[in-house]
């Protein structure tokens, strides 16, 4: 059996799926006799760039082009068309792979060969250069000379997946080329084409099987057909999703179902058994993480009113089930953690541990619930008096969460930007306090914890007075011991050296002067006020073990 990818490779411009715009333009150019001397075909792999170049060569050299049913289309059947299509030895069509022929010698050779006209009257010489971004600067310079004074009836087609590299190394040549951008082929288009091929071959397949193939083909029709080929030759009877998974080593949908469940239910205990199962089954953990990202993306899309393409029926059901349990802000944060850990997955020698950490962080991650929703769920409207936040809806978050209070925003873990130094004022210091706490935590979690429960009271010259927020004497002692360290931390943000003074806890007029409250204190106050006003909320906070955040 001829490989399906080869057997069903398009023979006419009108066969090019998804790239109809390019097919029509090229067909029109051939029909009008206005074919350019140089083309750049840019786009992802497997979307038909080389195929389109061959069809162009066929159309230019077709023996029956004068009597073509559609002007500009090759017949696909004459001797010339057949030879070009099958890649048989052909004087007029030269295919080069720049990945292997990239030296200046080849370029010179190309130049010399280009000087020879096509083999016969009325024929065109077509050079198809694949992976053109691999050509050297010298090769491009030689080609530029040809294209500045192109011999008649010579056409160059440069195909590339990375046009930006050509722009970098050979910008002048781009102005000599007519550029076509090939589109990625979506899963629907791939499934449709696979169905046509199956019908033509008298074969059948489950829709889910085709969706899985389309997903693995990742936008490439050639890959889609090659995978279908493998799956068809692997077994008997109709192609099933199970067979596709087996051939491609894909991770089954129920694994992703388990991921969604353990994240939604915060079932941290289920993390290690799940990863153990993947490892035992010999699953590719990188593939698993990509798949998990795809599933979360589908949940996010569903939450935002969209629909992910190419999901199997089982997967679509899972997405529907979990999209209300995992609201969009949560999914965004889950995906942010994924993006953060992904590089480690590639570089770490211990992919298993990275995957375990990823799932644990997902399962432990705090969730955002808008206060209004909680109140509505309790049959209450939000209080009309004091608004819970400054313009933004108040957010409830688990008190057990280990994360800093930044709802709907992924936790910042990247190293801090070098601090900008400025004047030492009490306002500035208070504004910077959360960053100073972060800096402290990076140095010592203990110091971070101490500073988090301390506030800036006043600034006097180079003296900064701080005060612990609780009356525990251990806290004050800890701060006392860390005065030098704190002076250094604060010193990073100001232009002059700083001396830290400590005030007694609870001293002064904390409750009388709310302006001096820390954010945490203010939140506690606000929550207290809200709870006093609304017994429903109070019950919810108690029942759900929540704390109020900005
Ligand atoms: Zn022909």
292 and 210 belong to one structural domain = no
Give 198 Cα–ligand 1 centroid separation in angstroms: 27
CATH number of the structural domain spanning residue 297:
1.20.272.10
385 and 456 belong to one structural domain = no
List strands edge to edge, sheet with 463-468.
Answer: 454-460, 463-468, 499-502
387 and 309 belong to one structural domain = no
pLDDT the model gives residue 384: 45
Give 55 Cα–ligand 1 centroid separation in angstroms: 10
How far is it, in rounded angstroms, from Cα 401 to Cα 364?
A: 7
333 and 464 belong to one structural domain = no
352 and 375 belong to one structural domain = no
Give 82 Cα–ligand 1 centroid separation in angstroms: 7
536 and 442 belong to one structural domain = no
314 and 439 belong to one structural domain = no
pLDDT tens for each residue of 266-297 = 999 999 999 999 998 888 898 899 899 999 99
How far is it, in rounded angstroms, from Cα 35 to Cα 27?
A: 9
How far is it, in rounded angstroms, from Cα 274 to Cα 347?
A: 22
Can you state the angle between helices 79-86 and 49-61, rounded to 10 degrees? 160
List strands edge to edge, sheet with 395-398.
Answer: 369-370, 395-398, 546-549
- Count other C-beta atoms under 10 Å from residue 379's C-beta: 7
CATH number of the structural domain spanning residue 16:
3.40.50.300
Is the distance from CB of 524 to CB of 510 less than 8 angstroms? no
Give 147 Cα–ligand 1 centroid separation in angstroms: 27
Assigned domain for 351 exists: yes
Assigned domain for 396 exists: yes
pLDDT tens for each residue of 281-339 = 888 898 899 899 999 999 999 999 988 888 888 899 999 999 888 989 889 999 999 99
Residue ranges of the chain with pLDDT lower than 50?
104, 370-372, 382-416, 506-517, 519, 543-545, 547-550
Backbone angles phi, psi at 300, to 5 degrees: -60, -45
Q: Which residues contact 37 (CB under 8 A, 6 or more apart)?
A: 147, 150, 154, 155, 156, 176
Give 352 Cα–ligand 1 centroid separation in angstroms: 56
Which residue in 198, 144, 137 sits closest to 172, CA to CA? 144
Give 65 Cα–ligand 1 centroid separation in angstroms: 7
Give 505 Cα–ligand 1 centroid separation in angstroms: 92
Q: What is the dihedral of CA 252, 257, 259, 261, to 10 degrees?
A: -160
Give 76 Cα–ligand 1 centroid separation in angstroms: 5
How far is it, in rounded angstroms, from Cα 75 to Cα 58?
A: 8
Assigned domain for 163 exists: yes
Assigned domain for 416 exists: no
Which residue in 536, 538, 468 sits closest to 506, CA to CA? 468
Nearby residues for ligand 1 (ion, Cβ within 5 Å): 62, 74-75, 78, 81
Q: Which residues contact 525 (CB under 8 A, 6 or more apart)?
A: 514, 517
End-to-end C-alpha distance for the chain, whole angstroms: 66
Residue 36 host element (H or E): none
Assigned domain for 417 exists: no
3-state helix, strand, coil in the chain (%, to 5): 55, 10, 35
pTM of this structure: 0.59
CATH number of the structural domain spanning residue 193:
1.10.8.60
How far is it, in rounded angstroms, from Cα 76 to Cα 455?
A: 81
pLDDT the model gives residue 150: 85
Q: Which domain holds residue 291?
A: 253-364
Assigned domain for 59 exists: yes
pLDDT tens for each residue of 453-511 = 888 998 888 889 998 887 766 677 778 777 888 888 888 888 878 888 888 754 443 33
Split into its structural domains, the chain has a count of: 5
Give 84 Cα–ligand 1 centroid separation in angstroms: 9
pLDDT the model gives residue 61: 94
Q: Which of 162, 181, 200 is at the close of a domain?
A: 181
**Three-state secondary structure call for residue 27:** helix
Give 192 Cα–ligand 1 centroid separation in angstroms: 27
- Count other C-beta atoms under 10 Å from residue 491's C-beta: 18
């Amino acid at each position: 059996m001829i490989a399906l990818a080869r057997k069903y490779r398009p023979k006419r411009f009108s066969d090019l799926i998804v790239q109809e715009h390019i097919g029509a333009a090229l067909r029109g150019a051939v029909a009008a006799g206005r074919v350019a001397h140089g083309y750049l075909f840019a786009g992802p792999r497997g979307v038909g760039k080389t195929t389109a170049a061959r069809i162009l060569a066929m159309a230019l050299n077709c023996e029956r082009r004068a009597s073509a049913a559609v002007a500009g289309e090759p017949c696909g059947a004459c001797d010339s068309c057949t030879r070009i299509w099958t890649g048989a030895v052909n004087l007029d069509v030269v295919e080069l792979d720049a990945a292997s022929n990239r030296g200046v010698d080849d370029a010179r050779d190309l130049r010399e060969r280009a000087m020879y006209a096509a083999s016969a009257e009325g024929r065109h010489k077509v050079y198809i250069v694949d992976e053109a971004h691999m050509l050297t600067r010298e090769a491009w310079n030689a080609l530029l000379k040809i294209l500045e004074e192109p011999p008649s009836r010579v056409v160059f087609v440069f195909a590339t997946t990375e046009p930006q590299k050509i722009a970098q190394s050979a910008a002048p040549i781009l102005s000599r080329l007519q550029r076509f951008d090939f589109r990625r082929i979506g899963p629907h288009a791939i499934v449709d084409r696979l169905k046509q091929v199956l019908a033509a071959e008298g074969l059948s397949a489950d829709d889910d099987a085709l969706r899985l193939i389309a997903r693995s083909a990742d936008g490439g029709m050639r890959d889609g057909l090659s995978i279908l080929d493998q799956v068809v030759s692997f077994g008997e009877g109709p192609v099933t999703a199970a067979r596709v998974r087996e051939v491609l080593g894909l991770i089954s949908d129920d694994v992703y179902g388990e991921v969604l469940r353990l994240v939604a239910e915060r079932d941290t205990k289920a993390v290690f058994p799940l990863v153990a199962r993947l490892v035992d089954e010999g699953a590719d953990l990188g593939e698993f993480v990509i798949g998990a990202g795809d599933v979360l993306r589908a949940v996010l899309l569903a939450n935002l009113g969209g629909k992910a393409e190419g999901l199997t029926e089982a997967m679509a059901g899972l997405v529907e089930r979990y999209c209300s349990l995992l609201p969009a802000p949560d999914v965004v944060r889950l995906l942010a953690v994924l993006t953060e850990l992904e590089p480690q997955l590639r570089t770490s020698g211990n992919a298993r541990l990275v995957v375990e950490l990823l799932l644990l962080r997902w399962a432990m991650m705090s969730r955002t619930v808008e206060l209004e929703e909680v109140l509505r769920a309790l049959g209450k409207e939000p209080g009309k008096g004091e608004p819970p936040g400054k313009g933004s809806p108040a957010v409830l978050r688990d008190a057990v969460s280990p994360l800093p209070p930044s709802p709907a925003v992924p936790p910042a873990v990247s190293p801090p930007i070098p601090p900008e130094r400025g004047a030492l004022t009490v306002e500035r210091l208070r504004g910077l306090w959360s960053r100073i706490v972060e800096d402290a935590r990076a140095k010592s979690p203990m110091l971070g914890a101490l500073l988090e429960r301390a506030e800036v009271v006043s600034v006097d010259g180079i003296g900064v007075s701080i005060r612990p927020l609780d009356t525990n004497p251990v806290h004050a002692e800890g701060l006392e011991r860390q005065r030098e360290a704190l002076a250094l931390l604060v010193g990073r943000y100001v232009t002059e050296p700083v001396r830290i003074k400590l005030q007694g806890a609870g001293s002064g007029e904390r409750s009388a002067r709310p302006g001096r409250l820390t954010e945490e204190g203010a939140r506690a106050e606000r929550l207290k006020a809200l709870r006093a006003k609304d017994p429903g909320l109070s019950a919810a906070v108690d029942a759900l073990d929540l704390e109020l955040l900005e």
